[in-house]
Amino acid sequence: MFVPTADLSSWLTGLREVYLSEPIDDQDPLPGLGYLKVVPSNVRLVFPDLRRVVFETDIEIAALRREDGTWSRADLVTCQSVFSSANMPNLRHLAVYIGLFRPRYTSTTNILSEFSTLAILSDGKHDHELFRELQAFDKLQHLSIYTDYAIVPHLFDVGKLSLESLHLDCWLLSREQELLPRLVRIAKGRDPMVRIKRIVIYGSRNGLEARTEDLTDAFEAFEWREGQQSAPFEDFDGR
Amino acid sequence: MAIATRIPPELLLDIFSTVSDSPRHDYDRYLERNRNLKSFALVHSKWRYRSQEILQEEIYIDTQEEVSVDARLKDTVGKIKVLVDAKIRGTKYLTINGYLDVFLNETESEMWSQIRHLRVWASGSTDGTLSLSELACFPRE
């Protein structure tokens, strides 16, 4: 087996897409936190073709394993050097699952500003923290969200937001009462803080129309994908 | 049968790629894809090469989850051995629900030097970790 060693001044890798997850244990339906080990010599690793990273379960990307088996944080300088536009110049697509563990991408990476698409899949309580980190995604154009958390206060009411497209599950509209009228306002260009060119809704509109009769005319402002049950995640590219 | 021999190789490749496309997180669909491609290979000798080419593009190693580390290790090695014996080459998509380090140790670089899409467990090595350097084992052409 050939493994890049510290002897190499640099090592170019050909991977384009990486998907990381943790196995799901039937005894514990929530997967644990996965660790991606980073050591100082990793600053020599260059991923010139890498364009997509998907964390399908909670992944801590800045970790070192101690001899006793516990984990500590790797030094941030190393992590920020590796996860940077210099070492990953074409990384554009990020998809993250957020469960029980708090995401720390702002502090551990130096590359958030390069992503053009972000897909968030969440059933935990920390997704609002990633919403807060959205400020670091300078070039973000397309956002896909599946969350148990309220979107309006944590995504739309935290500051200015400008996107090419926002992709949401239909059921989120019926769950969060404020969301639908706000989206209508955004789609019609009447929201002073939020600009989104395309709002794409996934799932059937029939059930939703029955519950929101007064707004059904406004549904035409959205792009509907009724044949797809949920907003895209791992293959999300903004289309 | 005559039509089987007249389809241009490039078109054949397109057809096989389209009908055998599988979501890369679905093991059952992967198995179904392989069955289809093996069937295509039997239609005519001219189809064999192209279907084998597509067949080798994707590898999905799925190991038993609810077993001991040793049992999973044995399962991983057994499945890798089948691939080694078949002299798999040119794989682009690799999914390992098992141990990435074992895969890299048990195989030759010809099998994985063209891998571009990797799906792996974060505890994907036998020591329960995944190192960034293991992701770097797939060289750029």
Closest Cβ–Cβ partner in A4, A35, A65 for B136: A4
Judge whether B62 and A21 are in contact, CB under 8 Å: no
Q: Could you read off the pLDDT tens digit of each residue along chain A, which spans 239 residues?
A: 445 444 444 567 889 999 988 776 655 555 567 778 888 888 888 999 999 999 888 787 766 666 666 667 777 888 888 899 999 999 999 998 887 666 677 777 888 889 999 998 887 666 667 777 788 888 999 999 988 777 887 788 878 889 999 999 988 888 888 888 899 889 989 999 999 999 999 988 877 766 666 666 778 889 999 888 889 999 999 99
Query: What six digits make up the tokens of A98?
Result: 């957020």
Domain with B69 in it: 63-141
Q: Can you tell me the mean pLDDT for B23-37? A: 85
Q: Are residues B76 and B138 in the same domain?
A: yes
Shortest alpha-carbon distance between residue A219 and chain B (Å): 31
Tell me how crowded residue B28 is: count the other CB atoms within 10 A of its CB: 10
Q: Are residues B97 and B74 in the same domain?
A: yes
d(CA A95, CA A101): 16
Q: Are residues B49 and B70 in the same domain?
A: no
**pLDDT (tens digit, 9 = 90+) per residue, B87-131?**
888 899 999 887 888 888 888 877 888 899 999 887 767 767 788
The answer to whether residue B77 sits within a structural domain is yes
The answer to whether residue B3 sits within a structural domain is no
The answer to whether residue B18 sits within a structural domain is yes
B136 touches chain A (CB under 8 A): yes
Closest Cβ–Cβ partner in A14, A25, A41 for B116: A14
Q: Are residues B90 and B121 in the same domain?
A: yes
Predicted local distance difference test score (pLDDT) of residue A238: 92
Q: Are residues B125 and B109 in the same domain?
A: yes
**pLDDT (tens digit, 9 = 90+) per residue, B66-98?**
667 778 788 888 888 888 888 888 899 999 887
Q: List CB contacts of A233: < 8 A, sequence separation 6 or more.
A: A54, A95, A119, A121, A144, A146
d(CA A53, CA A90): 11
Domain count, chain B: 2
**pLDDT (tens digit, 9 = 90+) per residue, B37-49?**
888 888 888 888 8
ipTM of model: 0.85
Q: Are residues B20 and B45 in the same domain?
A: yes
**pLDDT (tens digit, 9 = 90+) per residue, B47-64?**
888 888 888 889 998 877
Q: Are residues B48 and B112 in the same domain?
A: no
